[in-house]
Amino acid sequence: MKIGIIGYGVRMDYFLDRLLELERGVELAAVADPDMEKARQLLEAKGIRGVRFYPEADEMLDRERLDGVMIGTRCTLHTPLALKVMRRNLPLFLEKPVGTTEADLLRLEKAASESSSEVVVSFPLRNTPIAKLAKEIVDSGRLGPIEHVQAVNNVPYGGVYYHNWYRDEEQTGGLFLQKATHDLDCLNYLIGLRPVAVSAMESKRVFKGSKPAGLRCRDCNEYYECPESPYVLERIKQEEVTGELCAFAVDTGNHDSASVLIRYETGMHAVYSQNFYSRKSAGRRGARLIGYEGTLEFDWYRDEVTVHLHGAPRVETYKLEAAKLPHFGGDSALAQNFVRVMAGEERSHTPLSMGIASALMCLKAERSARTDTYQTLASFVEAR
C-alpha cells in the first residue's frame, strides 16, 4: 500500500513509525512539503530513501497513484488540504483539529456528503485501552445511566504552548482546539449521547507578563533565574525544553486554564477543566463518570480504572500497562485502523463526523469564553 504525506513534521515522522512497525506492506511513496530538504533529512535519518518529494500537495496528488494520504500540516491548512484529498476519494488520515473555523466544518460536512473517502481522524484517546475498558463498563449498565461527568486535564508539559509556535492562536485556533478536542471527543464516545450546548470560561493568570513581544530566552537578562528559561528547566528542574520564546511576554497567547460545561441531549451534563501549569506528579488526565448505581474513574497517567459500586461495599481496580505507550496506546490502534481502511478491511473508528462534532464544541466553547454567552450546537453534531 502506497501512501503520501502532506506536511512531514514531527507528528507525521512519529506516526509513520507506527504504520511501518505493523509490517502490512505500507510504503511511503511521496511527501508534499515546502521544506523538502528537511523532510528528506528526517526520512533518511530512519533509513527511508526513494521517496518522491513535491513542494505542494496538488502536484503530488495529481502525479502519484496512492492508496492513502496523511495530513500533518499546521492546523489552519487541515481543511483545505482534506478537501483536495476527499475530491479524489482517497482514504485519509487527518490530524486534529479537522478545522479551525465553523466555515471549515461546514465545508467538510458538504465534502463528506459528496466523497467516498474514508477519513480516520487522529483521536488516539478514544482508542486507548483505558478508554475502551471504561466504555465496556459503562455500556454494561453496571453504573446505571451516566448522569454526570467530571473530566480533567492537568497538563504536566504545558510550557510547550507558550515557548514556541503553539502560542500563535492564529495558527492553532487556541487551546480548546489544541487540547480539549481530544478529551471532548472521548467524553462523547464514553457517554454515547449528542451534545447540544456548551458554556465556558478561560483564564490567563500564569503565562503572561510585560516582556517584549518576540523575546527569546537567550537574549533576556533573567536567563539564569527565570523559572521557564531553558537553562533553569534543563539544568536545575531537569525538565524538557520545548522552545525559547519568553513565556512571560506580551505575545504569549493562549489561556493557561479553562473549563467547559456541556449539556447533552437527555439533559445530563459534563464538566471538563484543563490547565497548563501543573507539573510532574500533579499531572492528571481522565474523568469520573457517575450513575445512580456506581461511579467509574480513570486516569491515563496512572494507568488505572476504578469502579465504585454504590450498593455494595466493594471497589474494583483495574491496572493497565499502557501509560508509557505512544498516546497511551491510542496511536498504534489508529495506525492499525488506517491500514485496514486502506486495505478495505474496516471502516474508520474515528470518522470525520466525530472530528467535526468535537471541533464545533471547541469553537463554541471559545466563543462562549470570549463573549460570556451560552452556546447551542448545530444539529449536525453527533456522538457515536
267-289, pLDDT tens digit by residue?
999 999 999 999 999 999 999 99
The mean pLDDT value for 365-379 works out to 94
The mean pLDDT value for 132-156 works out to 98
Do residues 218 and 359 share a domain? no
Contact, 208 vs 252, CB < 8 A?
Answer: yes
Domain boundary among 66, 98, 121: 121
Burial of 48 (0-12, 13-18, 19+ CB in 10 A): middle
Report phi then psi at 219, rounded to 5.
-100, 5
The mean pLDDT value for 24-33 works out to 97
pLDDT of residue 219: 98
The mean pLDDT value for 85-100 works out to 98
**Inside any domain, residue 280:** yes
Between CA 176 and CA 319 the distance in angstroms is 30
Cell of 35: 521544506
pLDDT of residue 291: 99
**Inside any domain, residue 331:** no
CATH number at residue 92: 3.40.50.720
Do residues 151 and 232 share a domain? no
Between CA 223 and CA 245 the distance in angstroms is 12
Q: pLDDT digits over 43-61, tens only?
A: 999 999 999 999 999 999 9
In the structure, what pLDDT confidence band is assigned to residue 324 with cuts at 50, 70 and 90?
Answer: confident
Do residues 148 and 213 share a domain? no
Q: pLDDT digits over 57-67, tens only?
A: 999 999 999 99
User: Could you tell me the strand order of the sheet in which 315-319 lies?
Assistant: 315-319, 304-309, 294-299, 284-291, 146-154, 269-275, 257-264, 195-203, 375-376
**Inside any domain, residue 169:** yes
Number of domains making up the chain? 3
Contact, 155 vs 183, CB < 8 A?
Answer: no
The mean pLDDT value for 232-257 works out to 96
Do residues 157 and 93 share a domain? no
Category of 53 on φ-ψ map: left (φ > 0), alpha (ψ -120 to 50) or beta? beta
In the structure, what pLDDT confidence band is assigned to residue 327 with cuts at 50, 70 and 90?
Answer: confident
Q: How many CB atoms lie within 10 A of CB 71?
A: 26
pLDDT of residue 226: 98
Do residues 199 and 290 share a domain? yes
The mean pLDDT value for 195-209 works out to 98
pLDDT of residue 196: 97
β-bridge pairing 92-94 and 27-32: unpaired
pLDDT at 328 over 90: no
Cell of 251: 505575545
Domain residue limits at 219 = 209-251
β-bridge pairing 68-71 and 2-6: parallel
Domain boundary among 89, 121, 153: 121
Q: Which of helix, strand or coil describes residue 119?
A: strand
Q: How many CB atoms lie within 10 A of CB 318?
A: 16
In the structure, what pLDDT confidence band is assigned to residue 316 with cuts at 50, 70 and 90?
Answer: very high
Do residues 99 and 218 share a domain? no
**Inside any domain, residue 334:** no
Do residues 43 and 93 share a domain? yes
pLDDT of residue 380: 55
Do residues 86 and 232 share a domain? no
**Inside any domain, residue 25:** yes
**Inside any domain, residue 189:** yes
Do residues 164 and 277 share a domain? yes
CATH number at residue 141: 3.30.360.10
**Inside any domain, residue 333:** no
Q: pLDDT digits over 206-243, tens only?
A: 999 999 999 999 999 999 999 999 999 999 999 999 99
pLDDT of residue 313: 95
Report phi then psi at 156, rounded to 5.
-80, -5
Contact, 130 vs 228, CB < 8 A?
Answer: no
- Pairwise pLDDT comparison (309 vs 326), residue with the higher score: 309
**Inside any domain, residue 77:** yes
Contact, 153 vs 285, CB < 8 A?
Answer: yes
Domain boundary among 251, 278, 313: 251
Do residues 247 and 258 share a domain? no
pLDDT at 381 over 80: no
Q: What is the mean pLDDT of the chain?
A: 96
Tell me the percentage of the chain whose pLDDT exceeds 70.
98
pLDDT of residue 379: 58
Do residues 258 and 368 share a domain? yes
Do residues 104 and 218 share a domain? no
